Amino acid sequence: MKDVNFIDKMNRIRNLLILLLMTGFAESSAQELKKWTLQDCINYAVENNLGLQRQMLQTESAQTDLLKSRMDMLPSLNIGSNAQMGFGRSIDPVTNLITFEQNISNSYSINTSFRLFTGFAALNAMSASKFMFKAGIETEKVYRNTLVVNILGAYYQVLYAKGLEEAAFQQSEQSARQLFRIQKLVETGKEALSKQFEMESRASEDRLSLTIARNTSNQALTALRQMLQLGPDPGFEVLMPDLDKILITDNEFSVDSVYAIASEALPRLKAINYELMAAKRQVAAAKGGISPRLSGGGAVYTGFYKITSKDAPQQDPFSTQLKNNNSQAIYLSLDIPLFNNYTIGRNIRLAKLRKTDAELRLEQEKNNLYSDIENACLNYNRGKSEFAAAAANLEFNRKSFDAMEKKFEAGLIDVTDYSAARTTLFRAETEALRTKLQLLIRKLTIEFYTTGDYEHLINN
């Protein structure tokens, strides 16, 4: 009976261990099968890129400056207090007479001040801060979009490298099958041994090409992983889409039409335009320094005084003194600037220079944008003809290679002709893949110019 119970317990333990091992293997397999899509890469980069996070901090800094400029429009309010112990000669605040008695005094004050007129300098400074904050938001978008476009290029570079690896693998597999067939024919005496040696040389070259393509693919993956700022991850892999199912549409893009939309949609122009508007307000704020400034304020004072010597007369208590010593004051202050060592003139001059620089940068960026769009449209139109030619060439080479392969298997051509046909087909496959992916990137680039939003790239 005891042996039966012992065996039953051992079986339960064994089943539990098997279940745990299977669960761990399933979790490990799930992690290994994790592959990154383009959307995964972009979402991760937008959330974790250090450069983008620093740019976001600059935007928050501009928002803090805007809040500060708004608060500068409000009156200031301060509360003050001090305590003092006097020895020797001092002034009795009750009688205003000189006394040599030891004493203590304590005063309290509440004061406020506000600017009534400063030549609209504060108002223009607040407006400039508002435009700088908007420029910061657009600059953040520029940085984010640039990051997304770079990741898009790196991702499609991985797809291209993976496509080359797959083509090299197919070529190597085909050479291995032909080598196996020839080896069997040599064993039966139907083929010469020299043909086997020639095929072994060809298969060796294909394996070398596969090794080089695999290394190139790994290098492209490493570049993408580094761009995502991921740590060392030997299991990092991207999800390969079915490139044959990606359709190439025959779009037509007009440079002027794309530029008209891009100039309104892209944040790269909006950011500089906001900076220009801020510079204009800064010029107005600097000019406000030459106008008279009128400010006002008010204050409430009170205090307590007590002689601490033994023969001191009877004195009012603390609360009574605070009530009796209460005083109030209001004031107006007018400042008319006459000469201030060229400080105001310098500020106006620098503000005008910044405004002129912003105008020049805006015009320069418009020219750069137009050139970028013009080149993108020309490259896209040129890429369409290249892809059409490459696709036709691939179709022709596939048919040609199929015919050459049948002749090779029938013994009508030698290994050299077969290898030349296989190499030509491989080049046609890689060229068709290159032109297709390149055309896709150029098309997405132009569409990005017309939207200015990276989410459009993810959806495509």
Work out the pLDDT band at 33, boundaries 50, 70, 90.
Answer: low
pLDDT digits (tens, 9 = 90+) for 179-205: 888 888 888 888 888 888 888 888 899
CA proximity to 230, closest of 333, 151, 112: 151
Of 239 and 452, the structure prediction assigns the larger pLDDT to 239
Which pairs from 351-358 meet CB under 8 Å and 24+ separation?
Answer: 351/279, 351/282, 351/283, 351/285, 351/286, 352/283, 354/279, 354/282, 355/276, 355/279, 355/280, 355/282, 355/283, 357/279, 358/272, 358/275, 358/276, 358/279
Q: What is the mean pLDDT of residues 362-390?
A: 93
* Beta strands across the sheet bearing 103-117: 76-86, 103-117, 293-307, 327-335
Which pairs from 413-422 meet CB under 8 Å and 24+ separation?
Answer: 414/195, 414/198, 415/195, 415/198, 415/199, 415/202, 416/198, 418/178, 418/202, 419/202, 419/205, 422/171, 422/174, 422/175, 422/202
User: What fold is seen in the domain 34-74+118-291+337-459?
Assistant: Outer membrane efflux proteins (OEP) (1.20.1600)
CA proximity to 191, closest of 405, 402, 415, 403: 415
State how far the Cα of 155 lies from the Cα of 9, in Å rounded to an integer: 54
Of 279 and 445, the structure prediction assigns the larger pLDDT to 279
For CA atoms 395, 396, 397, 401, the dihedral sign is positive
Question: What pLDDT does 104 receive?
Answer: 87
Work out the pLDDT band at 460, boundaries 50, 70, 90.
Answer: low
- Please tell me the least confidently modeled range out of 94-108, 160-174, 446-460: 446-460
Q: Per the structure block, which two tokens stand in for 36?
A: 């990154």
Return the amino acid letter for 32.
Answer: E
Question: Could you report how far apart the first and last alpha carbons of the chain are, in Å?
Answer: 69
Return the amino acid letter for 77.
Answer: L
Question: What pLDDT does 187 receive?
Answer: 87
Question: What pLDDT does 419 receive?
Answer: 84
User: What fold is seen in the domain 75-117+292-336?
Assistant: Outer membrane efflux proteins (OEP) (2.20.200)
CA proximity to 283, closest of 410, 119, 407: 119
Question: What pLDDT does 279 receive?
Answer: 96
Return the number of other C-beta atoms located less than 10 Å from residue 358's C-beta.
Answer: 21
State how far the Cα of 283 lies from the Cα of 342, in Å rounded to an integer: 16
Question: What pLDDT does 25 receive?
Answer: 42
Q: Which residue reads 């050139």 in tokens?
A: 371
State how far the Cα of 304 lies from the Cα of 81, in Å rounded to an integer: 11
The answer to pTM > 0.75 is yes
State how far the Cα of 226 lies from the Cα of 340, in Å rounded to an integer: 55
Percent residues over pLDDT 90 in the chain? 47
Q: Which residue reads 């020895």 in tokens?
A: 87
Query: Is pLDDT of 1 > 50?
Result: no
pLDDT digits (tens, 9 = 90+) for 325-350: 889 999 999 999 988 888 899 999 99
Q: What is the mean pLDDT of residues 270-279?
A: 96
Query: Is pLDDT of 432 > 50?
Result: yes
Work out the pLDDT band at 214, boundaries 50, 70, 90.
Answer: very high
Q: What is the mean pLDDT of residues 244-257?
A: 78
Q: Per the structure block, which two tokens stand in for 309?
A: 């010597």
Work out the pLDDT band at 28, boundaries 50, 70, 90.
Answer: very low
State how far the Cα of 373 lies from the Cα of 426, in Å rounded to an integer: 34
β-bridge pairing 293-307 and 103-117:
antiparallel
Q: What is the mean pLDDT of residues 317-323?
A: 87
Query: Is pLDDT of 30 > 50?
Result: no
CA-based angle 129:132:133, to the nearest 5? 90
CA proximity to 110, closest of 73, 80, 130, 143: 80
Whole-number average pLDDT of the chain: 86
Query: Is pLDDT of 4 > 50?
Result: no
DSSP-derived letter for residue 118 is S
Question: What pLDDT does 12 receive?
Answer: 54
Question: What pLDDT does 353 receive?
Answer: 97
Backbone phi and psi for residue 139, each to the nearest 5 degrees, phi listed first? -65, -35
Q: Where are the alpha helices (DSSP H) in 300-342?
A: 318-324
Inter-residue contact 120 to 292 (CB < 8 Å): no
pLDDT digits (tens, 9 = 90+) for 287-299: 999 999 999 999 9
Question: What pLDDT does 455 receive?
Answer: 66
Backbone phi and psi for residue 185, each to the nearest 5 degrees, phi listed first? -70, -35
pLDDT digits (tens, 9 = 90+) for 73-99: 999 999 999 988 888 787 777 677 888
State how far the Cα of 437 lies from the Cα of 408, in Å rounded to an integer: 33
Question: What pLDDT does 58 receive?
Answer: 94
